[in-house]
Structure 1
């Protein structure tokens, strides 16, 4: 899942008591470390979320509401990991792609934050209905795919609306390079009036913390705590224990990934209009960068926590690997007329779409 950061122009004497300009650019070692971490996130996020999308499109014969939500979360995470290298490049070098691409990329960055987080809240709500309200919802969820698609569409529209300040005020602008006579082109939030800058500098992180963290967290805490209470009242079984562990893992990982960044972002936002020293600002931005990298990891963990932890998705994953193996063999041994072998491999696909009251944790 994606998170925006407050990359405003801090290098002004009005912000600091020091007489000289404060250079807040990261040091080379920090840049190298961030590059390796973001490369890891991009690689594993791309693989995991692509597998979820392929599974949904080609291997899931019967779609449920949870499947629709998982597919949309995977799409949001996939767009994020594809956009992440360009965002990181922009933070370290010149922006070479023009103003339109600048606005589109920054906006896509924010849209996927909000949509991804709100969709995770929708998944927790769906599991709450499936387990806590199992009797009332019996037979209804399988007939409610149209509602899940409408909910997902509404989430995406709402995410676009929340990202409008970023779309409007993101621009390409030139700024002098520290210690050099050249200028660099940056793709960041840019303001012509101080009043607008103060408003948006508070509005953007406030929306991010409210709708990208606090609201999903509250929904997840309520739904999953109710689910755990329901599961603990159920008869003793290994499946019940596994379901409880899955619920706890989902909540704990969400908090560990996103709480540090949102706390750092809150502290950073509260100090925006206060006089602070250059060294304190450097430390604060380093903490933001580290906690932001931890938050980015969540997009790699989502496929494991929400999809491939389930029996059905794991069986689909194995089938994908088998199909890829058979597909490669078909071309490697094409001279030996291996078409029959490939057909046997691919035709070995079997699907079991049965469900029960804990199926939300084994889908």
Structure 2
């Protein structure tokens, strides 16, 4: 059974042999056709460009304009950092998959681990956001005094999330190897996949890695979000507060989009994991691999969707983005106009960076 780097095999395909396909007279070739490879590269390029611009703007806004005033702000800042790490790695992943992993074994391990870190940290941070919103809205009276130390708590929690995400990524980091694979057609290609020397280790990891991704990277955060947001909606319906509805709308939209992006991939991954040690026919396996590729691309979309949600739903965040555009225009004028007009332009640009006494002091995601 011929394997290539066209699909994302780092989670579920290894040097451990796959089952035979008894109903087929010829070996099963899962190579993607050139059109699929081109389409995948095009989609990844769009995701990378939008994610890079959007998440950079979010980070830039928090550092220079908005500041992190609440626990949710700290969490969303870290989500943007996690997304930015992955979108910066994505073009290198695409390039290496199409050019036999020329960047070597170190790049192989780091790039293959980038999605895992992004997934675990991003989903767990969104679960933390839902927990913070639950405490702020449902437990508002009880948590009033404790939230004065919110920034310290949130930074400690974020540090713990990052350490936990890195720990969960260790199997991928340790067992991913860069090696030469000779196909049935006699073509030698460099692969970057999970690789094991012992059969028992291969069997364990082929189930453990996707199971951890589904359980801790998806089902656990989803359960926390469902509980927290169900309680929040119930509280808001009783309170009839339009202001609180606006406050939770941004975070709720971010979580819903994240779940929609990752649910298809986790369902496809679950189906593949269940069938790992069964006999499979070639055509259903090809369809399954195509479904995994498509759902993987949908999962990647979350990296560029979150900043769009901030811009179009969060009123205060949208105003900060607009201020960034104004300041960038001002700074460009500074180098175009003469020295006589540069003083006034510089003053306008600097004033945009200063927090006002009004909306800049309030979080756009706070109740």
TM-score of the aligned structures, taking structure 1 as reference length: 0.90
Deviations, residues 207-251 of structure 1 (Å, cap 9, x unaligned): 0001111011001111111111111111353x3554565465344
Deviations, residues 160-188 of structure 1 (Å, cap 9, x unaligned): 11111111110011012453x44111111
Corresponding residue for 1:227?
A: 232
Measure, in 2, the Cα distance between the counterparts of 1:108 and 1:260.
20
Q: Does 1:88 align with 2:94?
A: yes
**Candidates 148, 155, 173, aligned match of 1:149:** 155
**Candidates 196, 206, 211, aligned match of 2:211:** 206
Q: Does 1:185 align with 2:190?
A: yes
How far off its partner does 1:280 sit? 1.1
Measure, in 1, the Cα distance between the counterparts of 2:220 and 2:231.
17
How far off its partner does 1:90 sit? 3.2
**Candidates 17, 20, 39, aligned match of 1:15:** 20
Corresponding residue for 2:128?
A: 122
Name segments (4+ residues, structure 1) moved above 6 Å.
none
How far off its partner does 1:110 sit? 1.4
Measure, in 2, the Cα distance between the counterparts of 1:292 and 1:136.
42
Larger mean Cα displacement after TM superposition, 248-257 or 189-198: 248-257
- 3-state SS in 1 of match to 2:295: helix
- 3-state SS in 2 of match to 1:20: coil
**Candidates 36, 39, 44, aligned match of 1:38:** 44
- 3-state SS in 1 of match to 2:296: helix
Deviations, residues 259-293 of structure 1 (Å, cap 9, x unaligned): 11111100001111111111111100001111111
Larger mean Cα displacement after TM superposition, 343-352 or 69-78: 343-352
| Mapped contact 2:89–2:111 kept (Cα < 8 A) | yes
Q: Does 1:312 align with 2:316?
A: yes
| Mapped contact 1:70–1:307 kept (Cα < 8 A) | no
Instruction: Report 1:128-167 matches (<5 A).
Output: 128-167=134-173
| Mapped contact 1:64–1:142 kept (Cα < 8 A) | no
Measure, in 2, the Cα distance between the counterparts of 1:267 and 1:189.
19
Note closer, same or farther for the CA distance 1:245–1:167 as it changes in structure 2 (3 Å cut).
closer
Unmatched segments (≥5 aa) in structure 2: 1-7
Corresponding residue for 1:26?
A: 32
| Mapped contact 1:173–1:186 kept (Cα < 8 A) | yes
Measure, in 2, the Cα distance between the counterparts of 1:311 and 1:350.
16
- 3-state SS in 2 of match to 1:338: helix
- 3-state SS in 2 of match to 1:274: coil
| Mapped contact 2:61–2:67 kept (Cα < 8 A) | no
**Candidates 164, 177, 181, aligned match of 1:175:** 181
Measure, in 1, the Cα distance between the counterparts of 2:97 and 2:247.
41
Q: Does 1:329 align with 2:333?
A: yes
**Candidates 272, 275, 282, aligned match of 1:271:** 275
Measure, in 2, the Cα distance between the counterparts of 1:172 and 1:155.
29
TM-score of the aligned structures, taking structure 2 as reference length: 0.89
Note closer, same or farther for the CA distance 1:113–1:244 as it changes in structure 2 (3 Å cut).
closer
| Mapped contact 1:83–1:105 kept (Cα < 8 A) | yes
Unmatched segments (≥5 aa) in structure 1: none
Deviations, residues 115-169 of structure 1 (Å, cap 9, x unaligned): 1110110111111111111112225324221111110010111111111111111
Larger mean Cα displacement after TM superposition, 38-47 or 10-19: 10-19
Measure, in 2, the Cα distance between the counterparts of 1:272 and 1:7.
9
| Mapped contact 1:173–1:185 kept (Cα < 8 A) | yes
Measure, in 2, the Cα distance between the counterparts of 1:121 and 1:158.
14
- 3-state SS in 2 of match to 1:15: coil
- 3-state SS in 2 of match to 1:163: helix
| Mapped contact 1:80–1:109 kept (Cα < 8 A) | yes
- 3-state SS in 1 of match to 2:193: strand
Measure, in 2, the Cα distance between the counterparts of 1:143 and 1:203.
38
Measure, in 1, the Cα distance between the counterparts of 2:319 and 2:50.
20
Larger mean Cα displacement after TM superposition, 169-178 or 251-260: 251-260
Q: Does 1:346 align with 2:350?
A: yes
